[in-house]
A and B are shown apart, each in its own frame.
Chain A
Amino acid sequence: DAGVTQSPTHLIKTRGQQVTLRCSPKSGHDTVSWYQQALGQGPQFIFQYYEEEERQRGNFPDRFSGHQFPNYSSELNVNALLLGDSALYLCASSLWHLQGNIYGYTFGSGTRLTVV
């Protein structure tokens, strides 16, 4: 079991561009959450997807959007990139009906996005 897989591992984009990050959840998981971790900070919740719908959203602008596919994989899209969007983006997967089980919450290694 490969666990949560994120791609790419590193990415460099220019200010104003758009970026798409990808996440494959752990086998058997149906819920994907995205977090942004800026340098020197803890992860911040962006949003969560289940049944191809956004179920919860953190305090992030509309430039951040996502999608979940029928196979439960997910994409995070960021439009009009700003220098401040440079961060490690983490994906975490879980089972929707077992959200109370913290042990079922698995993080990926992340995608490091650098905006120049």
Chain B
Amino acid sequence: AQRVTQPEKLLSVFKGAPVELKCNYSYSGSPELFWYVQYSRQRLQLLLRHISRESIKGFTADLNKGETSFHLKKPFAQEEDSAMYYCALRGSSYKLIFGSGTRLLVRP
């Protein structure tokens, strides 16, 4: 079965603290993994994908096939990072399978 699990519904950190949003997946083949972000009153938008190994807005995510994880990390959180974050998986059918999301709250 294809599944994405985000174990934390809410993650609260202080500004400047490191952030790690957890994502675990279940997929029998070689999936594509993504992080989507939804800021308050805005549309769901792509943050980053595992293939490009990029850093967007200071966030990075590494695919760990052994642990079937794709955790999102940022060394120093900013207040503007407060948002809902969704981990998503895409298999051969191109449909996206989302996790239930983690709300990140960055306190001043």
> Taking chain A's interface residues, is the majority helix, strand, or loop, or is none over half, making it mixed?
loop
Chain B residues near A4: list those with CB within 8 A. Answer: 43
**Considering only CB atoms, which chain B residue lies closest to A110 in the complex?**
B43
Is residue B20 contacting chain A, with contact meaning CB distance below 8 A?
A: no
A33 in contact with B49 given A40-B100, A43-B44, A108-B43 (CB within 8 Å): no
Chain A residues near B100: list those with CB within 8 A. Answer: 40-42
A43 and B43 contacting across the interface, CB-CB below 8 Å: no
Contact segment of A60-68, A77-85, A99-107: A99-107
Chain B residues near A45: list those with CB within 8 A. Answer: 95-97
Chain B residues near A8: list those with CB within 8 A. Answer: none
Chain A residues near B94: list those with CB within 8 A. Answer: 48, 56, 99-100
Chain A residues near B46: list those with CB within 8 A. Answer: 102-103, 105
A43 in contact with B95 given A102-B90, A107-B43, A107-B44 (CB within 8 Å): no
For chain A, residues 28 to 63, give those with C-beta under 8 angstroms from any C-beta of chain B. Answer: 33, 35, 40-45, 48, 56, 58
B98 and A42 contacting across the interface, CB-CB below 8 Å: yes
Chain A residues near B43: list those with CB within 8 A. Answer: 3-4, 107-109
Chain B residues near A105: list those with CB within 8 A. Answer: 46, 96
Instruction: Count residues of chain A with CB under 8 A from any CB of chain B.
Output: 22
A90–B42 Cα distance when bound, in Å, is 13
Is residue B81 contacting chain A, with contact meaning CB distance below 8 A?
A: no
Chain B residues near A40: list those with CB within 8 A. Answer: 9, 100-101
A90–B98 Cα distance when bound, in Å, is 13
| A35 smallest CB distance to B (angstroms) | 8
* Residue from B49, B93, B99 in contact with A56 in the complex, judged by beta carbons closer than 8 Å: B93
* Best-buried of B86, B96, B100 by chain A (most CB within 10 Å): B96
Is residue B34 contacting chain A, with contact meaning CB distance below 8 A?
A: yes
Is residue B12 contacting chain A, with contact meaning CB distance below 8 A?
A: no
Chain A residues near B4: list those with CB within 8 A. Answer: 42
Q: Using a CB–CB distance below 8 Å, which chain A residues touch chain B? A: 3-4, 33, 35, 40-45, 48, 56, 58, 90, 99-100, 102-103, 105, 107-109
